[in-house]
Amino acid sequence: MSDAALIDPFSRPISYLRVSVTDRCDFRCTYCMAEQMTFLPKADLLTLEELDRLCSAFVRMGVQKLRVTGGEPLVRKGIVTFFEAMSRHLSSGALKELTLTTNGSQLARFAPELAALGIRRVNVSLDTLDPARFAAITRWGRLPQVLDGIAAAQAAGLRVKINAVALKGFNEDELFPLTDWCAREGHDLTWIEVMPMGDIEPSRLEQYWNLRDLRRSYEGRFTLTDLAERSGGPARYVRIEETGQKVGFITPLTHNFCESCNRVRLTCTGELYLCLGQEDRADLRAPLRASPDDGLLDAAIRAAIARKPKGHDFDYSRTAITGQVTRHMSHTGG
Ligand code: SAM
Ligand code: SF4
Which ligand places an atom closest to the C-alpha of 100?
1
pLDDT of residue 318: 40
Residue 296 alpha carbon to ligand 1 centre in Å: 32
Q: What is the 3-state secondary structure (H, E, C) of the chain?
A: CCCCCCECCCCCECCEEEEECCCCCCCCCCCCCCCCCCCCCHHHCCCHHHHHHHHHHHHHCCCCEEEEECCCHHHCCCHHHHHHHHHHHHHHCCCCEEEEEECCCCHHHHHHHHHHCCCCEEEEECCCCCHHHHHHHHCCCCHHHHHHHHHHHHHCCCEEEEEEEEECCCCHHHHHHHHHHHHHHCCEEEEEECCCECCCCCCHHHHECCHHHHHHHHHHHCCEEECCCCCCCCEEEEEECCCCCEEEEECCCCCCCHHHCCEEEECCCCEEECCCCCCCEEECHHHHHHCCCCHHHHHHHHHHHCCCCCCCCCEECCCCEECCECCCHHHHCC
What would the pLDDT profile of 52-74 be if each residue is shown by its tens digit?
A: 999 999 999 999 999 999 999 99
Asked if the structure places residue 148 within a domain, the reply is: yes
Torsion angle (degrees, nearest 10) of CA 325, 329, 333, 334: 100
Using most ligand atoms within 8 A of CB, pick from 137, 165, 207 the residue to mutate for ligand 1. 165
User: Rounded to 5 degrees, what angle do the CA atoms 212, 324, 231 make?
Assistant: 50
Q: Which domain range does residue 51 map to?
A: 16-332
Asked if the structure places residue 11 within a domain, the reply is: no
Asked if the structure places residue 5 within a domain, the reply is: no
Q: Are 314 and 252 in contact (CB under 8 A)?
A: yes
Which atom of ligand 2 is found nearest the CA of 138?
Answer: 4
User: Rounded to 5 degrees, what angle do the CA atoms 181, 18, 248 make?
Assistant: 30
pLDDT of residue 204: 57
Which ligand places an atom closest to the C-alpha of 327?
1
Asked if the structure places residue 9 within a domain, the reply is: no
pLDDT of residue 201: 56
Which ligand places an atom closest to the C-alpha of 128?
1
Sheet holding 97-102, edge to edge: 224-226, 235-240, 246-250, 188-193, 159-166, 121-125, 97-102, 65-69, 16-20, 263-266, 271-273, 281-283
Residue 264 alpha carbon to ligand 1 centre in Å: 16
Which atom of ligand 2 is found nearest the CA of 72?
Answer: 8
What CATH number should be reported for the domain holding residue 40? Answer: 3.20.20.70
Torsion angle (degrees, nearest 10) of CA 83, 87, 89, 94: 110
**Tens of pLDDT, residue by residue, the chain (334 residues):** 678 899 999 999 999 999 999 999 999 999 999 999 999 998 899 999 999 999 999 999 999 999 999 999 999 999 999 999 999 999 999 999 999 999 999 999 999 999 999 999 999 999 999 999 999 999 999 999 999 999 999 999 999 999 999 999 999 999 999 999 999 999 999 999 987 665 555 555 677 898 999 999 999 999 999 999 877 777 899 999 999 999 999 986 665 678 888 999 999 999 999 987 788 899 999 999 999 999 999 999 999 999 999 887 655 444 445 555 555 666 655 5
Instruction: Confirm or reject: Cβ of 268 under 6 Å from ligand 1.
Output: no
Q: Is the pTM of this model over 0.85?
A: yes
Asked if the structure places residue 4 within a domain, the reply is: no
**CA–CA dist 150, 179 (Å, integer):** 16
What would the pLDDT profile of 218-236 be if each residue is shown by its tens digit?
A: 999 999 999 998 777 778 9
Among 51, 29, 211, residue whose Cα is nearest residue 104? 29
Instruction: Confirm or reject: Cβ of 70 under 6 Å from ligand 2.
Output: yes
pLDDT of residue 200: 57
pLDDT of residue 333: 59
Asked if the structure places residue 3 within a domain, the reply is: no
Which ligand places an atom closest to the C-alpha of 194?
1
Asked if the structure places residue 282 within a domain, the reply is: yes
Q: Whose CA is nearest to atom 8 of ligand 2?
A: 71
Asked if the structure places residue 2 within a domain, the reply is: no
**CA–CA dist 109, 102 (Å, integer):** 13
pLDDT of residue 319: 42
Domain count, the chain: 1
Residue 329 alpha carbon to ligand 2 centre in Å: 8
Q: Whose CA is nearest to atom 26 of ligand 1?
A: 194
